[in-house]
């Protein structure tokens, strides 16, 4: 098989990162070991450079969100940013809309999160995509709890327990952000933060001086996304499912495909096409991640087709991940997920992306499929934030 011409640009090839030079070394991540500048089958992947250049110069698309119509389609935040965390509230922050009462000590909703933000780790992270990790790292803060319930979650030690980690006031959180920046972080990378929106936004009342990236599972509410207007410059959503069957079976969210499509469109409305600096780092935009699962090729194809139908080449970056590791200790893990991804499965998904003209993004080495890359959720960088 030969793969040439346009395709997912290998971000490690010089001159392919949205048209910016990138470091050609292989990068590894906690979840991810990204590929060096070679492609499957030894053929060269197209850079999609022209498309990326075009995308960069495109005018901002009109805001598709209804609330902006009154202001002539201009982007704007209809919600005043909160100055403090409400001590308790009835929560409808995520699409589950469970209405749970959350207070400082307790959360009874699906996500299990109390009203105060909690996190289990804050550290420089060198294992994201190169446009995020750069040379010094992404300043990652891992929040606990999650509104999805993925049976294969790699962060399950903290995602299934909203009470895990340590409570962080907005002042403490801001100190953590500033310390990461002082350590060299190219950006502040909030991992699974949206169910903690009330607790985090007050910490972002003033700009940090580096981009803020929101790293989510994609099962997000449009209303909550809008509340981050002006606070988040980069969105890093997963697009896990195009089919309701696997979404229900693996993540207890049959409405995931429609919810995630609306959410990702809204993220794009907020920040526009991807924009990289001269240093090759992402300054703003949307990077969509998709983890390819065993025995689920149709699901992956549907994700890629939606991306190709929805965005022009280069408007968003796409990261196709092969790092699935089956958590075999889980008795409820479906049979088809009890093995790793086969190289041929990943190759077929890459080939489909190529055919669909998805021209900008990342792929992974198979060596990244290891739990060795998991960061320690031991309170590092959190417990001493006085």
Give contact residues for ligand SF4 (rule: CB under 6 A): 91-94, 96-98, 100, 102, 109-111, 113, 147, 195
Q: How far is the CB of 110 from ligand SF4 (least distance, A)?
A: 4
**In three state form, how does the secondary structure of the chain look?**
CCCCCCCCEECCCCCCECCECCCCCCCECCCCEECCCCCHHHCCCCCCHHHHHHHHHCCCCCCCCHHHHHHCCCCCCCCCCCCCCCCEEECCCCCCCCCCEEECCCECCCCCCCCCEEEEEEEEECCCCHHHHCCCCEEEEEECCCCCCCCCCCCHHHHCCCCCCEEECHHHHHHHHHHHHHCCCCCEEEECCHHHHHHHHHHHCCCCCCCEEEEECCCCCHHHHHCCCCCCCEEEEECCCCCHHHHHHHHCCCCHHHHHHHHHHHHHHHHCCCEECCCCCEEEEEEEEEECCCCCHHHHHHHHHHHHHHCCCCCCEEEEECCCCCCCCCCCCCHHHCCCCCHHHHHHHHHHHHHHCCCEEECECHHHCCHHHCCCCCCCCCCCCC
What's the min distance (Å) between Cβ of 204 and ligand SF4?
19
The residue among 28 and 197 lying less far from ligand SF4, judged by its C-beta, is 197
Smallest distance from ligand SF4 to CB 180, Å: 25
Q: How far is the CB of 188 from ligand SF4 (least distance, A)?
A: 21
Task: Write down the least CB distance from residue 92 to ligand SF4, Å.
Answer: 5
* Nearest residue (CB) to ligand SF4, 62 versus 97: 97
Smaller CB separation from ligand SF4, 78 or 99: 99
Q: How far is the CB of 167 from ligand SF4 (least distance, A)?
A: 16
Our CB check for ligand SF4 shows the closer of 109 and 246 to be 109
**Residue 46 or residue 217: which is nearer to ligand SF4 going by CB?**
217
Cβ-closest position to ligand SF4: 109
Q: Which is nearer to ligand SF4, 34 or 142 (CB)?
A: 142
């Amino acid at each position: 098989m030969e793969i040439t011409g346009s395709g997912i640009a290998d971000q490690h090839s010089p001159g392919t990162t949205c048209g910016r030079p990138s470091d050609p070394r292989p990068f590894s991540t906690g979840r991810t070991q990204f590929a060096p500048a070679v492609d499957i089958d030894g053929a060269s992947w197209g850079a999609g450079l022209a498309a990326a250049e075009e995308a960069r110069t495109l005018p901002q698309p009109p805001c598709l969100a209804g609330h902006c119509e009154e202001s002539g389609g201009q982007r704007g935040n209809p919600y005043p940013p909160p100055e403090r965390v409400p001590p308790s509230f009835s929560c409808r922050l995520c699409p589950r809309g469970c209405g749970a009462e959350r207070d400082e000590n307790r959360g009874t909703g699906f996500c299990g999160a109390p009203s105060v933000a909690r996190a289990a780790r804050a550290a420089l992270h060198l294992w994201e995509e190169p446009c995020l990790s750069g040379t010094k790292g992404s300043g990652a803060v891992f929040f606990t709890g999650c509104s999805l319930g993925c049976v294969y979650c790699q962060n399950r030690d903290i995602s299934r327990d909203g009470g895990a980690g340590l409570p962080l006031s907005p002042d403490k959180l801001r100190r953590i952000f500033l310390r990461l920046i002082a350590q060299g972080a190219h950006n502040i990378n909030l991992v699974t933060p949206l169910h903690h929106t009330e607790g985090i936004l007050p910490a972002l009342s003033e700009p940090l001086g580096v981009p803020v990236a929101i790293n989510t599972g994609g099962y997000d509410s449009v209303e909550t996304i809008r509340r981050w207007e002006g606070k988040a410059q980069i969105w890093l959503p997963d697009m896990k499912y195009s089919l309701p069957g696997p979404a229900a079976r693996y993540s207890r969210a049959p409405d995931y495909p429609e919810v995630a499509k609306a959410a990702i469109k809204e993220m794009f409305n907020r920040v526009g096409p991807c924009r990289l600096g001269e240093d090759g780092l992402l300054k703003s935009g949307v990077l969509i991640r998709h983890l390819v699962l065993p025995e689920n090729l149709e699901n992956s194809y549907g994700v890629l087709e939606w991306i190709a139908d929805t965005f022009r080449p280069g408007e968003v970056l796409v990261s196709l991940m092969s790092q699935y590791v089956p958590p075999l200790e889980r008795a409820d893990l479906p049979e088809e997920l009890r093995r790793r991804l086969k190289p041929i499965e990943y190759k077929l998904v890459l080939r489909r992306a190529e055919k669909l003209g998805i021209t900008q993004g990342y792929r992974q080495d198979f060596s990244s499929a290891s739990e060795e890359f998991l960061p320690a959720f031991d309170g590092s960088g959190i417990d001493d934030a006085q």
